[in-house]
Structure 1
Amino acid sequence: MAERRNKAKTSRKTTSVGTLSKRWSQRVTQESDALDLKQGVFKLTSAKKIAASLKRSAEQSSRRKAGAYRSALSMLTFYINRAGKTLLKTQRARLERAKVALKHQFGRE
Structure 2
Amino acid sequence: MARKYSKKASADVERAMKKRKAGTLRSGRSKKKVTSRKQAIAIGLSEARAEGKKVPKKTAKKRKTAKKTAGKTAKKSKRKAKK
TM-score w.r.t. length of structure 1: 0.26
- Structure number with greater Rg is 2
